[in-house]
A and B are shown apart, each in its own frame.
Chain A
Amino acid sequence: MPAIPFRAEVLGAGELVTIELHGDINVAAEAGLAAAYREVGEIGAGAVLLDFTDAAYINSTGIALIVRVLADARRDHREVRACGLSPHYVEIFQITRLSDYMRIIDDRESVTAAELAATTGGQR
């Protein structure tokens, strides 16, 4: 399968903003992911949901980019969640302990307003 160029799309404008991640998350995703997170900061959302549903491939450099988002979010007191991960990448998030610092949910619909209200600001 050929490489799929990365693209990030920021959705929502409330307390929870979603970054949809499309394509390959590797070194080429660095600028796009950083820009998307900056946009979340400008919106001022209390939580960000990384949606990996359309992410085709994540390598170790991609993991490092996600670590950077987590570090930035910790600095900004912003919660990070992840959804749409395949079982394989859930496993990788567990092995690397990324899952300790972001709640992994099945899909975007799993996030309810009540749950959001209860957890906003719950960054470890």
Chain B
Amino acid sequence: MTFIESIRRTIGRGPRADPPAPVRAETAASTPASPSVAIAMAMGPAIEIAPTDPLFAYLQATSGVVDAERLELDSPALAELQAAHVRVIVPLVAQGELIGTLYLGPRLSDQDYSADDRKLLTTLAAQAAPAIRVGQLVREQALEIQTRERLEQEMRVATLIQQQFLPRELPQLPDWQVSAYYGPARAVGGDFYDFIALPDGRIGIVEGDVTDKGVPAALIMARTQSVLRGEAPREMSPAKVLERANEILVPEMPARMFVTCLYMILEPETGRVVFANAGHNLPYVRTADGVVELRATGMPLGLLPGMDYPEHEAVLAPGESILIYSDGLVEAHDRGGEMFGFPRLRQLMATERPGNELLDHLLDELHGFVGQGWDQEDDITLVALQRTGGFGSTSDEVPADTVAVTSVATSPAAVPFGRVLLRASLPGEPGNERLAMDRVAEAVSPLGIAPARLERLKTAVSEAAMNAIEYGSQNDPTIPIELEASVAGDDLVVKITDRGLSGPLGDAEEPDIERKLAGEQKPRGWGLFLIKHMVDAMEVSTHGTGQTVSLTLHLEGAGDASHSVQS
């Protein structure tokens, strides 16, 4: 028997419901923020007193028993109570807050409630209210604990489920050491990596990073990984895989979310990797000549439809290793707010270590950097591959059409036949021809080209890039141009490739200064003329997606035969 039922038995009887209702005050099951006080009648419907009901304020401000029959308020709740023949209402107030209401029907004797009855009820309410409040708090706390435990259990399950999405084992490849690390900032995360077995022994390597952290990111991660696993075996081109994934994800992606993703296909036997990048960090490659980036750019997945992802190639020679990493590593901060940063990672990467030890070393350095008690800010994912064997057993024989790892050698003699010095993608934005010029100049600096010839090459690159931007990309920054500089035998070959939006270059009219001054020819039209005179050879080739201007500069025995001054 509850104390309230006890009250009913000793003091009154239930309101005249059919059958006579015992009175039970459903304590305002209310938390402090509860918007209403619920009154449940054991035999009748619950009557809610809305916070806006005048009765609510009245009871909250009243101490003692309220005569319901005589109370006059424009209150829907009071009208309901009176209709249910409630005679007295006893508010239960604790710390100024109405936490429940006790109400009673007519006395068993049908007599009015006496002064003693009312006094007893008032005393009872004053003592019961704090106890009920304590009971409410205990119940709320128990519910909170229950909810938290349920959420924690759900998160444990989510963690287990997400772990199932990650590869259960790493690929076992002869002459390769493969290692991976996945460390979400929370129970689940938005980073992911994957190894996908492809025909002919090739391996698809995926690393991605969803914006945000926690459950929303984990859901997007799961979907993205599922899409990539579905698309990767169908397409042997990383660029196509990312394009397809992007088209699938764009309509599904919530606002302000996207996925950065690098997809690479490795041919273990040759060390050749073909890759495309949707906004992910550029991988680092440790070569005999130092640490270089594998440059590849593209829009993150899920942002805009119709995106292209330029495809690049590289060859990892024995002894070389590659690190693919997410933001969580380089953007970790120490207690002073300093960021771990790309230069630090690059420096750590430079030290030769077996692939398995590289990740341990990086994580040790990270933990030393951030210190104890670090609250991990973002998910961290690392994938490392090392082609075993020492440096130097490679790539002098890399064919010119294939690619050694983008690398900057230290002397002309160190640049082997066929070595690619630069591969870059630049936004098709006016003015970027200057950037193209500088990038090529920097990349070819190890070749020791004479200053005058280097200036000519720069002008030729600048003009070719300007044409590519103006005509190929039509000055649209989202449509990139591609640069490649490589050494082929005794020649330096720089290729500038565009998307050919305005069709192939036609045969431009030879500029004639006299006719221009006479107004018979437009002042412009010097670009191709300059290019031809600045380099030893220029060739324009068209292909399915645009056109490529190839500039050749002889490296050995090259005098100034690149042009003849007209007079």
**Residues of chain A at the chain B interface (Cβ within 8 Å):** 1-3, 24, 26-27, 57, 59-61, 63-65, 67-68, 70-71, 74, 86-88, 91-92, 94-98, 100-101
CB neighbours of A100 from chain B (8 A): 513, 567
Indicate whether B561 reaches chain A with its CB closer than 8 angstroms.
Answer: no
Contact A60 to B466, CB < 8 A, known contacts A67-B517, A95-B533, A101-B517: yes
B462 touches A59 (CB 8 A): yes
Quick one: which of B433, B434, B513 contacts A1, CB cutoff 8 A? B434
Q: With the chains together, A68 CA to B456 CA distance in Å?
A: 24
Which residues of B come within 8 Å of A, CB atoms? 430-431, 433-434, 438, 452, 455-456, 459, 462-463, 466, 511, 513, 516-517, 519, 522-527, 529-530, 533, 563, 565-567
Contact A60 B565 (CB under 8 A): no
Q: Is the CB of B563 within 8 A of A95?
A: yes
A71 to chain B, nearest CB (A): 5
Interface secondary structure of B, over-half rule? helix
Output the least CB separation between A98 and chain B (Å). Answer: 7
Further 9 A-B residue pairs, CB within 8 A, beyond A64-B524, A67-B516, A100-B513:
A1-B434, A3-B434, A59-B433, A60-B530, A64-B525, A67-B513, A71-B519, A91-B456, A92-B459
Given A3-B431, A88-B452, A88-B455, A60 and B463 touching (CB < 8 A)? yes
Contact A70 B524 (CB under 8 A): no
Known: A59-B466, A63-B526, A65-B523. A96 touches B513 (CB 8 A): yes
Residue of B nearest to A56 (CB): B434
Whole-angstrom distance between the Cβ of B321 and the nearest chain A Cβ: 33
User: Can you give 28 A-B contacts (C-beta < 8 A)?
Assistant: A1-B434, A1-B438, A27-B430, A59-B462, A59-B463, A59-B466, A60-B466, A60-B524, A60-B526, A60-B529, A60-B530, A63-B530, A64-B526, A71-B517, A71-B523, A74-B517, A86-B455, A87-B452, A91-B452, A91-B456, A91-B565, A92-B459, A95-B565, A95-B566, A96-B513, A96-B529, A98-B513, A101-B513
The CA of A34 and the CA of B522, in the complex, are separated in Å by 16
Taking a contact as CB atoms under 8 Å apart, the answer to whether A96 and B434 are in contact is no
Query: Hey, which chain B residues are within 8 Å of A94, CB to CB?
Result: 565-567
Q: Are B459 and A88 in contact (CB under 8 A)?
A: yes
Using known A-B contacts A60-B524, A92-B459, determine if residue A97 contacts B566 with beta carbons closer than 8 Å.
Answer: yes
Do A95 and B530 touch (CB < 8 A)? yes
User: Which single member of B434, B438, B523, B533 contacts A68 (CB below 8 Å)?
Assistant: B523
Give the interface centre of B438, B517, B524, B567 by most chain A CB atoms within 10 Å: B517
Q: Which residues does chain A contribute within 8 Å of B517, judged by CB atoms?
A: 67, 70-71, 74, 101
Shortest C-beta distance, B278 to chain A (Å), equals 27
User: What is the CB-to-nearest-CB distance from A115 to chain B, in angstroms, rounded to a whole number?
Assistant: 23
Asked if A92 and B513 sit within 8 Å, CB to CB, the answer is no
Q: B434: which of A57, A65, A91 is its contact (CB, 8 Å)?
A: A57
Residues of A with C-beta under 8 A to B522: 64
Least CB distance from B515 to A in Å reads: 11
- How many Å from the CB of A7 to the closest CB on chain B? 16
Least distance between B460 CB and chain A CB atoms (Å): 11
* Chain B, Cβ-Cβ closest to A74: B517
Inter-chain CA distance A86–B459, complex, in Å, is: 13
Give the nearest-CB partner of B524 in chain A. Answer: A64
**Nearest CB to that of A71 among chain B residues?**
B517
A80 to chain B, nearest CB (A): 11
In the assembled complex, the Cα of A110 lies from the Cα of B523 at a distance in Å of 29
Q: Chain B residues near A57 (CB, 8 Å)? A: 434, 462
Asked if A64 and B434 make an inter-chain contact with CB atoms under 8 angstroms apart, the answer reads no
**Which of B433, B466, B511 meets A96, CB within 8 Å?**
B511
Instruction: Give B465's nearest chain A residue, CB to CB.
Output: A59
Residue on A with the closest CB to B430?
A27
Q: Which of A61, A68, A91, A95 has its CB near the most chain B CB atoms (within 10 A)?
A: A95
Q: How far is the CB of A78 from chain B (nearest CB, A)?
A: 13
Which residues on the B side are within 8 Å of A26 (C-beta)?
A: 431
A67 and B431 contacting across the interface, CB-CB below 8 Å: no
What are the residues of chain A within 8 A of B567 when measuring CB–CB? Answer: 94, 97, 100
